[in-house]
Structure 1
């Protein structure tokens, strides 16, 4: 499936995003298809991953669980798909950037008072 690779191809834009492909990264298919495109090494596992994230965004962990593939394999395959611009990856907000729970509680109380 990965031809022995543990990381995306050298020079791939996916290498820059390798750290972004953690368990909580959200992956969304952008609508491109692999029919007739891409290197010959793209196989049914690539298509499976594309199909899983075509209907909605999924985390890398969800994709690994749903596909039955090991996480490391999923990350390499996602890197291949990123290099072909078939996917978009976004990271959830880190906990330090989320609003404080007390502020959220005040907003809720203010809305209830309306």
Structure 2
């Protein structure tokens, strides 16, 4: 459908009415894709933007079972199958808001379609002082 340059709806008798095709945004609003949910379900943690998502290969599922998923779920699964991606990359490649992707990944994770590898927490990383001492020792060699 094209938008007339004069802003009218064309020859359908509704002169002066504007059609908003591409400018209106997506036809399905984010809350409709997630069933009105805005966060992870109980017992689920919030996904970090840099968490890596990959398909769960321990589960053998047929196409018929995957066809019960919504189109957005299937899109995320297809992107994960191509290569392991971060939550931020999935959101960008699927052209979905990050909040929606987090909710959908929560569904997929709970159903064991995907595995999510969370980043190492800062407390588990070595102390900066120790790293500086190692660098200084290497330079001394």
Pairwise CA RMSD: 2.7
Q: Report the TM-score when normalising by structure 1.
A: 0.70
Q: Report the TM-score when normalising by structure 2.
A: 0.59
Deviates more, 1:31-40 or 1:46-55: 31-40
- 1:49: how far off? 0.8
Quick one: structure 1 residues 52 and 112, their matched pair in 2 at CA, closer, same or farther if it must change by over 3 Å? Answer: farther
Quick one: structure 1 residues 93 and 30, their matched pair in 2 at CA, closer, same or farther if it must change by over 3 Å? Answer: same
1:103 aligned counterpart, secondary structure: helix
Partner of 1:53: 80
Contact 2:50 / 2:87 at 8 angstroms: preserved in 1?
A: yes
Matches within 5 A, 1:1-114: 1-8=33-40, 15-19=42-46, 21-31=47-57, 32=59, 33=61, 35-37=63-65, 40=68, 42-107=69-134
Higher relative contact order (CA 8 A, sep 6+): 1
- Structure 1 consecutive aligned stretches of length 4 or more whose deviation exceeds 4 Å: 105-114
Task: Return 5+ residue gaps in structure 2 as ranges.
Answer: 1-32
- 1:92: how far off? 0.9
